[in-house]
């Protein structure tokens, strides 16, 4: 079981790095502590052989950098709607990349992404009772956090906090 947890954690980290490098041309560095410097978040839930939610926490600066790098827009052309769309697309692609790498032979149902503004991600409870693990990253363009809530098909919690701290309830 411990080997599986390590695989899940490493797969998630690899997916995050891959999406940010290839899609947004942003190189992330892991942080050793949690950051509260986030202005918005987007989340996606999934169901299948494993169920859960992936939530991405983003600083305003990183979202603007993501949009500029992906769409080639100048900062004065970045709208609130584009920031929401970019945030939702990022979490969608990270989740799809993660699930595909974890087990490409399984089918997962993805629910529509949701978006929120503000820095208190704890106030937007995912409604899932499982344990939560978190990874935070920094870059020249701003900060990114990922909060993953995972359980297997029969509801057992998948502990992905081997090297990450659980988020307080």
Q: Taking residues 34-59, what's their average pLDDT?
A: 92
Query: What's residue 73's pLDDT?
Result: 94
Tokens of 161: 């906090």
Res. 126: pLDDT tops 60: no
Q: Return the half-sphere exposure (C-beta side, CA atoms, 13 A cut-off) of residue 91.
A: 31
Answer whether 158's CB lies under 8 Å from 50's CB: yes
Res. 161: pLDDT tops 60: no
Domain boundaries, the chain: 2-152
Q: Taking residues 145-162, what's their average pLDDT?
A: 64
Q: Taking residues 39-59, what's their average pLDDT?
A: 95
Strands 50-58 and 142-152: antiparallel
Query: What's residue 133's pLDDT?
Result: 79
d(CA 20, CA 25): 6
Res. 43: pLDDT tops 60: yes
Strand partners, 134: 147
Q: Taking residues 30-58, what's their average pLDDT?
A: 91
The CATH number given to 2-152 is 3.40.1550.10
Decide: pTM greater than 0.85. Answer: no
pLDDT > 70: percent of the chain: 78
Res. 10: pLDDT tops 70: yes
User: Over the Cα atoms of the chain, what is R_g?
Assistant: 15
């Amino acid at each position: 079981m411990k080997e599986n947890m390590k695989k899940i954690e490493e797969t998630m980290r690899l997916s995050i790095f891959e999406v940010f490098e290839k899609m947004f041309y942003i190189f992330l560095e892991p942080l050793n502590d949690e950051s509260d410097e986030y202005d918005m978040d987007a989340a996606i839930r999934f169901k299948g052989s494993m169920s859960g939610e992936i939530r991405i926490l983003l600083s305003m600066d990183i979202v603007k950098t993501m949009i500029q790098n992906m769409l080639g827009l100048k900062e004065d052309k970045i709208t609130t709607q584009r920031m929401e769309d970019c945030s939702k697309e990022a979490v969608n692609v990270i989740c799809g990349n993660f699930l595909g790498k974890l087990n490409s032979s399984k089918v997962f149902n993805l629910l529509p992404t949701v978006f929120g503004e503000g820095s208190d991600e704890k106030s937007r409870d995912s409604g899932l009772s499982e344990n939560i693990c978190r990874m935070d990253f920094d870059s020249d363009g701003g900060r990114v956090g990922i909060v993953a809530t995972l359980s297997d098909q029969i509801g057992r919690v998948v502990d992905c906090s081997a090297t990450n701290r659980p988020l307080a309830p």
